[in-house]
Amino acid sequence: MADEGSYFFEPFTESFGRRLKVEKFYYQGKTKYQFVQCLYNKFLGKVLFLDEKIQSAQIDEYIYHESLVHPALVTHPSPREVLVIGGGEGATLREVLRHSTVEKVIMVDIDRELVELCQKYLPEWSEGAFSNPRTDLIFKDARPFVEKTREKFDVIISDLTEPIEQGRSVFLFTEEFFSKSFEALKEDGLFVLQAGSADPSYSQFFCSLVKTLKKVFPIVRPYWTFVLSFGMPWGFVLASKTKDPLVLDEKDIAQRMRERAVKKLKYYHPGFHQSYFALPLYLVKSIKQGKVLTDSNPFIWKS
């Protein structure tokens, strides 16, 4: 554990890492499922680390969360029922609730303690979303929930930590789980997930998710953006039964956002939508090398 006034070291690989000066610690401790650190850094603002990996920073959390949520919700013509998997900080929930068409959001997170810590120390992330009457917060393992639910959703959003050894999310990134998610969607439903780093050296997870989702969904559109606090480009994948985000033009998107009263965004806008999906050549080539992830052969980041 680092102390206030000292430097917190975040390892990326065995040969690369970075240091953040800790001005203040709001919390350090272990929940039932993960080690949580919430601190303040003058440059990044409030920062959340889980198992020593950065999850969110005040300076730019909106870039990540708006990128995860709005391309999928805008692509759906009228999203009413949404499922959020993970997303303990509440910011994914916050962005979903900006769409007035949404009547109900179920958020399923396994770690009640983490959600309570985020409500206490990071209220700027959720902005009251947990107490919104459209929110149904459930503390369960997402896999059995999705496998057993009888509800059908317009959009499912996966905002999970990346799969690490002994981690709880390993089997939420497999063909079997994606097939169950497909079944939990309505006929025109969409699935979107955060897909990890999209840099030239460590895009294996991102590329394998694209390959795996193509085994399940007829339309799969990988996209990316740069997240400053992560220090690298970050990947997302939108998978759909019938709707293609690439057929929407700027006017279509602007009209949908007006009709739904989507306001106060800081990153996503109608003119930016298409640019998300323009991938650099190294990713285009790497996706072809991706592997299909299954319960018997999942992806696990080695520490």
Q: What is the mean pLDDT of residues 50-72?
A: 96
Residue ranges per structural domain of the chain: 7-57, 61-287
Per-residue pLDDT at 2: 61
Higher-scoring residue by pLDDT: 169, 84: 84
Nearest C-alpha neighbor of 63 from the set 105, 91, 36 = 91
What is the Rg, in whole angstroms, of the alpha carbon atoms belonging to the chain? Answer: 18
The C-alpha atoms of residue 273 and residue 279 are separated, in whole angstroms, by 13
pLDDT of residue 75: 98
Mean pLDDT along residues 62-77: 98
Q: Which residues have a Cβ under 8 Å from the Cβ of 274 and sit 6 or more positions away?
A: 246, 250
Torsion angle of C-alpha atoms 18, 22, 27, 32, degrees rounded to 10: 20
What is the pTM (predicted TM-score) of this model? 0.96
Side by side, the strands of the sheet bearing 232-240 are: 135-138, 104-108, 81-86, 153-159, 185-197, 232-240, 219-227
Instruction: Check 159, 188, 244, 252 and give the catalytic one.
Output: 159
pLDDT of residue 65: 98
* Averaged pLDDT for residues 131-151: 97
What are the tens digits of pLDDT across the range 171-229? Answer: 999 999 999 999 999 999 999 999 999 999 999 999 999 999 999 999 999 999 999 99
| 295 is a catalytic site residue | no
pLDDT value at position 162? Answer: 87
| pLDDT mean across residues, the chain | 95
According to CATH, the topology of domain 7-57 is Spermidine Synthase; Chain: A, domain 2 (2.30.140)
Order of strands across the sheet that contains 53-57 = 24-30, 35-41, 45-50, 53-57
Confidence of residue 168 (pLDDT cuts 50, 70, 90): confident
Q: Check whether 262 has a pLDDT greater than 70.
A: yes
- pLDDT above 80 for 150: yes
- Which CATH code, of 3.40.50.150, 3.40.50.300, 3.40.630.40, 1.20.1260.10, is assigned to 61-287? 3.40.50.150
Percentage of the chain exceeding pLDDT 70: 98
User: How far is residue 84's CA from residue 66's CA, in Å, rounded to a whole number?
Assistant: 14
- What is the predicted pLDDT for the residue at 18? 87
Residues 237 and 221: beta-carbon distance below 8 Å: yes
The reported pLDDT for the residue numbered 80 is 98
